[in-house]
Amino acid sequence: MIPTPHIDWFALAPVNSLLAATGLALLCAVLAPARSRKAVTATLCGLGYATALGFAVALYVKSAHGHGVVVDAFRRDRLAELTAIIVAGSGILATVVSYRERWREDHIGEYYALLAAAGAGMIFFVGANNLLTLFLALEWFSISLYILCAIDRDRLSGLEAALKYLIIGGFGSAVLLFGSALVYGATGAIDFPGIAAAGHEHDALLLFGLAMIIAGLAFKASAAPFHMWTPDVYEGAPTPLTAFMAAATKTVALVVMLRILVTAFPGDAYVWTRALAVIAVFSLVIGNLAALVQKGVKRMLAYSSISHAGFMLIAVASSSSLGARALLYYLIPYAAMSIGSFAVVAARERELGVPVTFANMAGFGWERPLLGISMWTFMLGFAGFPLTGGFVGKFYVFAAAYRHGWTWLVIVGVLATLVSLYYYLGLVRAMFMRRTEDLQLAPIGGSPPRDALLQTAVVACLVVTVGSFFAVQPLIDLAKHAASSLPF
Amino acid sequence: MLDNWLPFLIYAIFALIIPASMMWFSFVFATRAHKRTRWRELPFESGVSTGPPRVQRFTVSFYLTAMLFIVFDIEIVFLYPLAVILHQLAWFGFLEFLFFIAILVVAYVYVWRKGALDWQ
């Protein structure tokens, strides 16, 4: 008799519920009648994410002491579950925002199937506890996203974005894989604790591998100088998908970076903390300066997401429990603000039928007050104003850097925030404060009907953005418990 | 001693019979005239004619079918090792096997309903 492994199905339930949604949506994409296909597959995708969210919450509550499952390939701990909650929440919102997107719908069933598959891959990614699972999950969600970018075959910009993402993303994956091979060569272990226990801290091979793993994950987190794909892909991809990528992909890439660096490379902390600080400074400088000159709103938000990768890398670089807490707290309002702002862009895009620029946002705030005020709040949140979670997030990140003794990094961060005010408030000015002759109150072809689903999603994002400022303590506690899964 | 070699002998006999019968049948069932043209004088090379390579254009259906064949064929290869030790793995192995088949069936139904199996 061969001993069969014990499998903790509960720990895998969030991933499996999304995979079940993928399979069912794929079957409905070909078996359901064409009229109801969109409704059925979107419902399945949304239900998959909702089930995953429910399981993730239950797992968070019941996993106070993290442990490995499936022969230690996968971690069941609060770090993974909190991230899974953020991913599943982003997935629900992205599904809702996608529903009324105007595109050719001959692959709509596949869109929702792949959206669920991408989420499953991401949740698997954050639980990865060895280099093989890490790479498998990375490819799993990346390939889903490459296809999703090109799902609307009539849009050339989408095809261009998909191709750029595929080539550069493939390159990033190859770098990560090569790095993993070097680390395995140096230590003879692929599981994270095993790599740490091998004790080869000053091995050149290991340091090379570490550098390549950081570079590979920085590609996914779109941190400079590995950010080149971000503006083009965010601009070209369908806007609801951009919202999902900006929120979920960045979240999982940063959390996995934190996990692998802290659990597998604690002995090399003096190297990777400095490396991440340099990457953070690059991201802050390049993201903010490039965002200043953008005319397209999606491109501006893409560069803003690069600068936010910089802010959150400061938290990772400080390599402390406080830093981990700051990152995990910051990700909650950040994900909500990203999805919300791209959803507002999607709403304007559906009205105009052309890419949204600063110029054609003129008067939008007066025309659609709910979306306008929400966008205003998201911009203030990105800039780090009080009454939004962005303020507390930045405060915590700077506190972590200061505690680590990096006052200079705090100064760079504050300067970057000051620069960012120009373009964030520039968008608010474009929406609300244009002269009367600039206003384009009536879009060409008359106003489309109000999109209740999209507005609901935007309001949900608004609630999280503002709510995370007032509910700081409970959220910080959540982040603290999640961060305690890591060996600091 | 001979017992150990008997399966090999049977295998070798089959290995000879199958190609020999194919060649024989191709003469027996040949419907064209027995005229000796130049091309028919050339040795039989797995169906590939030994001339200069000609630029050929295949319809895309060939590639589609070939890719689908490889996907399903490789997945079937995974079932062989499982079949050998299925009794030792008992119910666990059987359930995993069913789960694997279910995934294949979803893919198959998708491919079939998409019309990828129709020859155009």
- In chain A, where are the structural domains located? 9-444+451-483
Chain B's closest residue to A6, CA to CA, is B92
Q: Mutate which of B86, B97, B106, B110 to disrupt the A interface (most A C-beta within 10 Å)?
A: B110
Encoding tokens for residue A477? 């506690």
**pLDDT, position B48:** 64
* Å between A24 CA and nearest CA of chain B: 8
Model confidence band, residue A474 (pLDDT cutoffs 50, 70, 90): very high
Greater model confidence, A16 or A154: A16
Chain A's closest residue to B104, CA to CA, is A23
DSSP class per residue in A302-358: HHHHHHHHHHHHHHHHT-SHHHHHHHHHHHHHHHHHHHHHHHHHHHHHHHHSS--BS
**pLDDT, position A204:** 83
- ipTM tops 0.95: no
3-state secondary structure of A4: coil
| Nearest beta carbon to residue A2 from set B85, B106, B110 | B85
Encoding tokens for residue A76? 């069941």
**Interval A230-257: pLDDT, tens:** 999 999 999 999 999 999 999 999 999 9
Secondary structure element (H or E) that encloses residue A212, with its range: helix A204-221
Q: Measured between beta carbons, which residues in chain B are less than 8 angstroms from residue A23? A: 103, 106
**pLDDT, position B32:** 66
* Å between B38 CA and nearest CA of chain A: 50
Residue with tokens 């060939």: B62
Angle at which helices A321-352 and A452-470 cross, to 10°:
150
Residue B8 lies in a domain: yes
Does residue A441 register a pLDDT over 60?
Answer: no
Does residue A174 register a pLDDT over 90?
Answer: yes
Q: Which residues contact A248 (CB under 8 A, 6 or more apart)?
A: A86, A87, A90, A91, A94, A118, A119, A122, A335
- Residues A403, A407: Cα–Cα separation, whole Å: 9
Q: With a CB-CB cutoff of 8 Å, which residues 77-96 of chain B face chain A?
A: 85, 88-90, 92-93
**Cα-based distances in Å from A428 to A129, A374, A377, A442:** 43, 11, 9, 19
* Å between B68 CA and nearest CA of chain A: 17
Residue B97's domain comprises 2-113
Work out how many domains chain B is built from and give that number: 1
- Is B113's CB within 8 Å of A4's CB? no
- Residues A274, A271: Cα–Cα separation, whole Å: 6
**Cα-based distances in Å from A460 to A97, A99, A467:** 11, 16, 10
**pLDDT, position A19:** 95
Over residues A32-60, mean pLDDT: 95
How confident is the prediction for chain A on average, in pLDDT?
A: 92
* Å between B92 CA and nearest CA of chain A: 7
Q: Measured between beta carbons, which residues in chain B are less than 8 angstroms from residue A28? A: none
- Residues A133, A126: Cα–Cα separation, whole Å: 10
Best mean pLDDT range from A13-17, A61-65, A442-446, B7-11: A13-17
Model confidence band, residue A438 (pLDDT cutoffs 50, 70, 90): low
Structural contact between residues A76 and A84, judged by C-beta atoms closer than 8 angstroms: no
Residue B85: CATH number of its domain: 1.20.58
| Nearest beta carbon to residue B92 from set A4, A26, A30 | A4
Listed range (A45-49, A177-181, A346-350, B39-43) with the worst mean pLDDT: B39-43
- Interface check B34 vs A, CB under 8 A: no
- Pairing label, strands A67-69, A74-76: antiparallel
Listed range (A16-25, A273-282, A289-298, A344-353) with the worst mean pLDDT: A344-353
- Residues A79, A261: Cα–Cα separation, whole Å: 14
Residue B72 lies in a domain: yes
- Residues B95, B101: Cα–Cα separation, whole Å: 10
Model confidence band, residue A6 (pLDDT cutoffs 50, 70, 90): confident
Buried b (16+ CB within 10 A) or exposed e, A326-349: bbbbbbbbbbbbbbbbbbbbbbbb
120 residues of chain B, pLDDT tens digit each: 556 678 778 888 999 999 999 989 888 887 766 666 666 666 666 666 666 666 777 788 888 888 888 888 888 888 888 888 888 888 888 888 898 889 889 999 999 998 888 887
- Is B88's CB within 8 Å of A23's CB? no
- Is A23's CB within 8 Å of B92's CB? no
Query: Computed from CA positions of residues B90, B93, B98, B99, in that sequence, does the dihedral angle turn out positive or negative?
Result: positive
Amino acid symbol at A387: L
- Residues A149, A161: Cα–Cα separation, whole Å: 7
**pLDDT, position B73:** 87
Model confidence band, residue A153 (pLDDT cutoffs 50, 70, 90): confident
* Å between B72 CA and nearest CA of chain A: 17
Q: Measured between beta carbons, which residues in chain A are less than 8 angstroms from residue B92? A: 4
Closest C-alpha among A130, A133, A109 to residue A15:
A133
- Is B93's CB within 8 Å of A4's CB? yes
Phi and psi, residue B40, nearest 5°: -80, -15
DSSP class per residue in B12-37: HHHHHHHHHHHHHHHHHT--S-----
Residue B119 lies in a domain: no
Residue with tokens 């064209």: B32
Structural contact between residues A16 and A119, judged by C-beta atoms closer than 8 angstroms: no
Residue B120 lies in a domain: no
* Å between B83 CA and nearest CA of chain A: 14
Structural contact between residues A393 and A337, judged by C-beta atoms closer than 8 angstroms: no
Does residue A443 register a pLDDT over 90?
Answer: no
Residue B25 lies in a domain: yes
Q: Which residues contact A225 (CB under 8 A, 6 or more apart)?
A: A279, A282, A286
Residue B38 lies in a domain: yes
**pLDDT, position A361:** 87
**pLDDT, position B36:** 67
Over residues A300-324, mean pLDDT: 96
